[in-house]
Amino acid sequence: MKRFCTLLSVSLGIVAIGSAQLAEHVPGQIHVKFKPNLGAPTMQALHAAPLNYHEGIGVTLVDLPDGMTVSQGLAAFRARSEVVYAEPNYIARAHLTPNDPLFGQMYGLPKIQCPQAWDLHFGSSTIKVADIDTGVDMTHPDLQNNKFAPGYDFANDDSDPTDDHGHGTHTTGTIAANGNNAVGVIGVAPNVTIIPIKVLAASGGGTYDMIIGGIKFGADNGASVLSMSLGGSGASQAMQDALVYALGKGALPVASAGNNGDTNLNYPAAYDECIAVAATDANDQRAGFSTYGDWVEVAAPGVDILSTTMGGGYGLNSGTSMSCPHVAGLAGLIKSADPTLTPAQIRTLIQNNCDPVGNFVTKGRINAFRAMPLISIGQPYTLAPDAVGLFEGSSFIGNLAALLTSNNVYTKANSVFVNRLGHVASQSITIDNKITTSNVVNLSKVVSMDLKMEVAAKAGTTVSLFYKNPTTNAWTFVKSSPMTATDGVVTVKLGSPFTKYFASGASQWLIRGIDPQTTTHTALPFTLRVDKVSLSGMVKN
C-alpha cells in the first residue's frame, strides 16, 4: 500500500481535460464521491483504500491498488452505479509573481504579460536556447544552477565562451535569468538551458564566418531557438544557408532588426528564415533608434531594459539587441509548454498573438500569454448551476438536477405575464465558477467560453439571454434567438474578459422567452422549458 503524501502547493487553476489527456495529477490516487453509505463495500470490491475523507463535502481520497493507473481507476469507479463521480487528485500550483527583488523595475516583462504566461509554464531545462553573442558570464549569481550546456568561442576558437564584453551576459539574462530565487532579475523563460556561443570579440565585432559557425554549433547541439542580437548590412548566401540548416535541425532563428532608425535591411534578421525584431519603449512606441519596415515582423521592449551584467551586477541597456532576447525567450517558453511544436508553429503562435503597436512592424508587439500554446478541452466542461428559479411568471416546475443532462427532464416556467411584445416567461440560473467535479476553472487561462442551453417553447418564440453585471447589479443583454421549432439549442459565444461573468464568484443568467403571437391577458399560459445548461471553451495548457 502506498503512503499518503500531502502536496504543499497553493492556489487553484488546473482544468480537467477529459480522459484522453489528464492534467497534472497524483499517481495512484483519485477523488470519489459515493452515494450514502456505499463507499466501503465499493472500495473493498475494487481493492482500494480510503486515504482521506472530507466531512461535509462527502468526497473520499482513494488509494488505488498497486499497478492500477489513474485512468483505469477512474473507469472502474465510474462504471459503478453507487459512484456519483470520480476524478484524479489534480495538482494545483501557485500563480507566480516572482520574488526577484528587481522585477518591479522590469517594465518589459509585465508589458508582454510574462507573469500570466508563467502561470502556464516556467520553462523547461530540456529546452535549449543558443545565445549567439559575445559569450556569457557563467559565474553570475542569476545565471547559475546548471543553466548552461557546453558552448563554444568562435571568436577565439576555443571551448570557453566566457563574456569579455558584456553584451551577451545582458541578453542571456533577458532570455533566462533564474526566476523566483529572491535574487536580482528574471528572464522570459527562467528554466530553459542556455548554450553560450561566443561569435563576437571583446570589441563587440565578429565575422560572418564566426556567426555561421555559431549558428551551426547551436543547431547541432540541440538548440530549439537561436537568439542573435547582432547583424551586418551585407547579404550573405552562406549565412542564409546556415539558417536553412538550422531550421532543418529544428532550431528557430530570432534576430535583432538593427539600430539605424531606418528601414534598411540588416542580416541575418532580414532573411525569411529569421524572426526580425524591432524595439519599443515603455509606452509601446517605436524606439527612435530601432530599424523598422515591412520586413520586420514583431517588436519587443528594447529601451532601458534591466538585466544581468558582467561581474555579478545588473544594468540598463537599450537597443534591438535587448528586444531580440525577449522574443527568443518567448519561443523557448512556448517550446517548453509543447515540445512537439515545430519552428514554423512557434513562429506562427508568436506572430498571430501580438498586440497592435503601429505599422512599423507587420505583426505587432509580442504578447507572451496570448502566444502560449492552446489545448482543446477533451470534453466540454459543465459548470453546474447553483440555483434555478422563476424570474417572471406565475409558476415554476423543476430543480437543479434537471439542468445537468439531456434527459427530457427540465425546468419549466409558466407565465400569464404580458408585456408590449406578448407573453413572457423567464428563468434565472446561477452558475458558480467551478466544474461539477469540483475543479475550479482558472479564468486567467480561459481563452474562449461558450454558454449552451437546450430550450423548448412554441415555434416563433424569441429567447433572449442576459447576465447580471455584479458591478451595476443590472441585467446586461447578450443575445436573442428566434425559435424555428419547438425544441432548440441556444449557443452564445461569450466575449472576454471572462472574469466579468464571474466577478462575484458566480454568474447569474436570465433566460427569457417571449411569445409574440399572444397579446391578451386571457390567452393560455405561455411555457418556457430549459434542459441542459453548460459552459465549454478553450484553455491554456
Contacts of 540 (CB under 8 A, 6+ apart): 120, 369, 372, 373, 374, 375, 445, 446, 447
Q: Are 329 and 193 in contact (CB under 8 A)?
A: no
Beta carbons within 8 Å of 79's beta carbon, 6+ residues apart:
none
Could you say which DSSP state residue 415 is in? E
* Rounded CA separation 184/177 (Å): 9
Amino acid, res. 105? Q
Q: For this structure, is 121 an active site residue?
A: no
How far apart, in whole angstroms, are the C-alpha atoms of residue 256 and residue 241? Answer: 19
| Residue whose cell numbers read 549565412 | 239
- Which one is catalytic: 63, 100, 131, 133? 133
Cell numbers found for residue 537: 471553451
Measure Cα distances from 315 to 2, 171, 182, 193, 306 in Å: 51, 11, 17, 22, 5
Q: Which of 227, 321, 444, 507 is catalytic?
A: 321
- For residue 179, give the C-alpha cell: 526566476
Beta bridge partners of 413: 396, 528
| Nearest in space to 225 (alpha carbons), one of 192, 191, 266 | 192
CB-based contacts of 115: which residues, under 8 Å, 6+ apart?
96, 97, 98, 109
Query: Hey, which bits of 56-190 come out as E strands?
Result: 59-63, 83-90, 128-133, 152-153
Which residue shows C-alpha cell 482544468? 15
Task: Indicate if 229 belongs to the active site.
Answer: no
Residues 6+ apart with CB under 8 A from 119: 13, 95, 96, 442, 444, 445
Q: Is 336 a catalytic residue?
A: no
Q: Are 188 and 100 in contact (CB under 8 A)?
A: no
Q: Of the listed 31, 165, 167, 170, which one is catalytic? A: 167
**How many Cβ atoms are within 10 Å of 344's Cβ, its own excluded?**
10
CB of 45 within 8 A of CB of 79? no
User: ∠ CA(82), CA(88), CA(93), 5° rounding?
Assistant: 145
Question: Is there a contact between 336 and 121 (Cβ–Cβ < 8 Å)?
Answer: yes
158 burial type by CB count under 10 A (0-12 exposed, 13-18 middle, 19+ buried): exposed
Residues annotated as part of the active site: 133, 167, 321
